Amino acid sequence: MDQWGARTVTEDVAERLRRLIHQGEISPGDRLPPERELAETLGVARVSLREAIKILQGHGYLVVRRGAHGGTFVTDLDGPYRQWIGQMRQESSELEDILDFRIAIESQTASLAATRRGESDLADQRVAIERMAAAEGRSEFRLADSQFHGAVARASRSKRLEAAVHYARGELFSHPDQLVYVEQIETCVGDHRLIHEAIADRDPAAAAAAMREHIERTRAELRELLFGDER
């Protein structure tokens, strides 16, 4: 797995894009913005972006199509997903470590959000929950889920915690189209509502506990996904 060590600019850009895909911010079939626009958004030179795209092409995340309707598109992600599943099964301690990290970071983030949030933060969280409840597909659901956790992280008013939340969430990877286990959407939405309510009530202990329980549920679901057939 990627660690916090030094990377080249190209490797950093590739990693940032990969995490956006893992988090559901970019979904299969999505076309990336034009090169100039994306490079400006990421704050990097176009040559670094091109090299990063080549890296992600090689790993099966992106495909470049030529012609009038060409561009750089996210693949169906079957290959990268199988690789991630295989890696997690071989190194089960990695999964536990990622989720332990998420609990530590996101519980504290939720706690701080409960004391620092503004009305706009609560509004962003409500919109994300509503989008999640109304999602018609897994890609929409993953995006709304990512938006909710991002809104909680922003409400903490800690740039470092916010960055850590995005980092940790990018370590996990659920395939957006091919479900290999039944996701309890109503339960997940309910978890998010509890987190939101605790933050709205300015109750840091309840917010942290609700976030911890939510991520522990994720741990149980991922264990079933990865190792259920072995139990």
pLDDT confidence of residue 230: 53
Has residue 58 got a pLDDT over 80? yes
Of 206, 211, 95, 100, residue with least CA distance to 153? 211
Query: Average pLDDT, stretch 4-8?
Result: 64
The domain defined by 80-230 folds into Four Helix Bundle (Hemerythrin (Met), subunit A) (1.20.120)
pLDDT confidence of residue 92: 82
Domain boundaries, the chain: 9-75, 80-230
Of 231, 137, 124, 130, residue with least CA distance to 178? 137
The domain defined by 9-75 folds into Arc Repressor Mutant, subunit A (1.10.10)
Q: What are phi and psi of 205, to 5 degrees?
A: -65, -45
Q: What percent of the chain has pLDDT over 70?
A: 91
pLDDT confidence of residue 87: 87
Enumerate long-range contacts of 79-84, CB under 8 Å, 24 or more apart: 80/173, 81/173, 81/175, 81/178, 83/59, 84/173
pLDDT tens, residue by residue, 151-189? 999 999 999 999 999 999 988 886 555 444 445 688 899
Q: What are phi and psi of 3, to 5 degrees?
A: -115, -170
Instruction: State the distance between the two ends of the chain, measured CA to CA, in whole angstroms.
Output: 26
Of 166, 172, 161, 160, residue with least CA distance to 97? 172
Burial profile 165-191: b = 16 or more Cβ within 10 angstroms, e = fewer:
bbbbbbbbbbbbeeeeeeeeeeebbeb
pLDDT tens, residue by residue, 60-88? 999 999 887 889 999 989 899 889 888 88
pTM of this structure: 0.81
Domains 9-75 and 80-230 share a fold: no
